[in-house]
Each structure stands twice: as structure tokens, then as C-alpha cells.
Amino acid sequence: MSFQMARRAERMNPSIIREILKVTERPGVISLAGGLPSPDSFPVDAMRVASERVLRESPREALQYAASEGYAPLREWVAATMGGQGLDVDPDQVLITTGSQQGLDLVGKVLIDAGSTVAVERPTYLGALQAFAPYEPEIVSVPCDDDGPLPGELGVAKGARFLYLLPNFQNPSGRCMSALRRAQLADAARALGLPIVEDNPYGDLWFDTPPPAPLSTRWRDGSVYLGSFSKVLAPGLRLGYVIAPKELFPKLLQAKQAADLHSPGYNQRVVHEVIKDGFLREHVPTVRARYKAQRDAMRAALEHHLPAGCRWNVPSGGMFFWLELPEGVDALALLPKAVERGVAFVPGAAFFADHAKANTLRLSFVTVPPATIERGIELLASALKESS
């Protein structure tokens, strides 16, 4: 081959989730793998009305190139909404991104040098590892319990460029950090001079009580906060946002300009049109109710079908169960057997930067309806019983 790959390209790997999703496209396979929001939750009618309105009232502006920072009314909406959660934000600090995934890439581009250190949770979001990897960091993972990273262990992250945290209904573990843990982590990070990158796509999807305030509220100058419209509206819009301290914002903006000039202005206007008068106050509770019922269906199925020796959390929001199989069972080896039977999941090892636990796996409860969840878990249990 005549192309010589850049070092960063060598560090890029196909996402195991995308690879698994290809398999799950096979007809008849029940996918508990990808974190695909339920398509029944998409606000199709509201989107249609808003699209028509944008095309009627500001078609040329919506179809023209636009500001890299994002559509001003949408930035204002984000700032006001975050204010309601205790995070006092100036609209100038809000950068609209092409999904929060792009926010992770921009953060990596601006903060990581080859050989510098980035600290993550154990396990952590695979897409963040993918976003950071091309910038060639050394990744260290902080030991965690069911409440998130252990503040006493944060010393392993000393000198890192940042600590990447998912406080709400973490992907993949489903855990949600308590207010106390957030306070301890923010204090410990501040004492170490360790900036925090807080990623929160799932915080609105709580089932019984809202999660505690964002970690960023506890250390404003040392935190970058990422949000997304993917889980409360629809992921196909590819819209998210980064809230950054004012010293960091210009660099993120320049990185964004180089990446894609701006996120689709048409989508931004449509989303703003949908949400500006409080639509989410009515819509999000319907998504919560749907996902809670699906969470309950998965919990009941796990309790009913899974053999002794399996352990799982019960998530209080978000999209995922995290399952620990009996010691010695390899979830990656189990996957082809499960797919053969007609169910797919994501082996947990993919979510670890180091210290991978081969006996873990992630199950999404949002994509398919309760009866299909029940059947999927039954198939998983039969694959498991056969292989042990």
C-alpha cells in the first residue's frame, strides 16, 4: 500500500459496538447491545411542525452557513436551562456541537498532547476512549465502587490533563454518583489541580428522583460540561453542547471551526423551535415513564432467568444494566453463542482502559419493548447456562 498512516490513525480502532450493531442488523436478533433510544420516543409530530415553521419563517437563514458558536437563541436556552440546575452559565460559554461526541473530540484536541495523561472511570464510555485515543494520551483509570470513582484513589490521576467523569446513570455501568461522592471528587480534584470533564447525556432520564447537581457546580473554573439533545429528543439530529470556562472557550471554538465550521444550522433552529416554549417539560416525563417500564421488565427478566452467580445493579435512570457473570466466564466468548440464539449485548471489556473485567457485559433496556426484553434475557440465560 502506498499510504503511510499517521501514528494517530494506528491508534484508531473500529468501535466494537458498531461492529456488534452490524451483526444485530441481522433479522431476528434481539439487540440489547447498542444504546439506541426507543424510536417510539422521538417527537415526530413536534419536529414536523417545527421544521415547517423554520422553512416558512427563516428558510434562507436556516440553509445558510452560520456561526461556529451555534444558534444564539439555542445557546441562550442551554445557559438558562443549566442555570435551573444550579450551574450559572453565560451564553458566551456555550458551544453547540455536532453531538456531545464531537465535544469529546474537541476537548481531546485542545487538551491532550501525545504522551500526556488522561484519567477515566473504571469502566468508562467507550466512545470517549475512541475520541481521546488519536491524540495519543496515556490513559489511567481510577478505581471505582458502585458510587463512582473513589476519591481516595484520585492520586493515580495526579498530573493528568483532565479527569473524565460520567456522574449520571453512567454508560456503561448505569451508576449514579451521590451528592456526597460528587462533593468529595470535586474537592479532591481541585486539591490536585486536576480539571474535570463532566459528560451528562443521561441526567434527564431519571426514574424516581432527579440526580444531584452537576459536579461542575462545585468547581466552575476547573470544569468542562458536556450535554446532548440525543437522549431527550433524537440522536439523528446530532446536536449537543460544551460549556467551558471562558479561558478555554476560544480554543474549543477554533478546534470546532477546523472540524466542521458549525453544527447544522437548520437542525439547531428546528430544535430551538421545538423546545423554546417548554416542550421538554411535557415530553421528557413520557420518555422517563417508558424507560422505567422497560427497566422494570429487564430487572424482572434478569431475576427470573439468570442463573445464580450473576450480579447486576438496578439503574435508577438512563439506559443500561451492567451485568457481572460468574468469575471465569468470558463475555466476549459468550457473545457469538448468544447471537446464534438470537440476542446481542456488548461485552464489558471494551469499556475498560485497563484492568478489564472479562466477565462483565452491558445490556440496554431502551431499544426494544418489554416483551422482547423478556425474550432476549431468556435467550441470554440459555446461552449462559450452555457455556458454563
- Residues contributing to the site for ligand PLP (CB under 6 A): 35, 99-101, 125, 127, 166, 171, 199, 201, 228, 230, 235, 240
Task: Report the nearest approach of ligand PLP to the CB of residue 227 (Å).
Answer: 8
Cβ proximity to ligand PLP, 157 vs 166, nearer residue: 166
Helices 370-387 and 331-341 cross at an angle (nearest 10°) of 120
Q: What DSSP line would sit under 275-328, residue for residue?
A: HTTSHHHHHHHHHHHHHHHHHHHHHHHHHHHSPTT-EE---SBSSEEEEEPPTT
Q: Which is nearer to ligand PLP, 24 or 171 (CB)?
A: 171
Q: Which is nearer to ligand PLP, 127 or 265 (CB)?
A: 127
Q: Which lies closer to ligand PLP via its Cβ, residue 222 or residue 240?
A: 240
Q: Supply the minimum distance, in Å, between the C-beta of residue 177 and ligand PLP.
A: 14
Q: How far apart are CA 155 and CA 193, in angstroms?
A: 11
d(CA 377, CA 306): 8
Distances in whole angstroms, Cα of residue 378 to Cα of each of 24, 25, 251, 302, 305: 17, 20, 50, 8, 6
For ligand PLP, which residue has the nearest CB?
99
Which of 82, 306 has the CB closer to ligand PLP? 82
- Helix, strand and coil content of the chain, in percent to the nearest 5, comes to 50, 15, 35
CB of 381 to ligand PLP, least distance (A): 26
Phi, psi dihedral angles at 136 (to 5 degrees): 60, 45
Nearest to ligand PLP of 206, 381 (CB atom): 206
Q: Measured from the CB of residue 100, what is the shortest distance to ligand PLP in angstroms?
A: 4
The least distance separating ligand PLP from the CB of residue 123, rounded to whole angstroms, comes to 11
Cα-based distances in Å from 246 to 91, 92, 223:
11, 8, 11
CB of 166 to ligand PLP, least distance (A): 5
Q: Which three cell numbers stand for residue 151?
A: 476519591
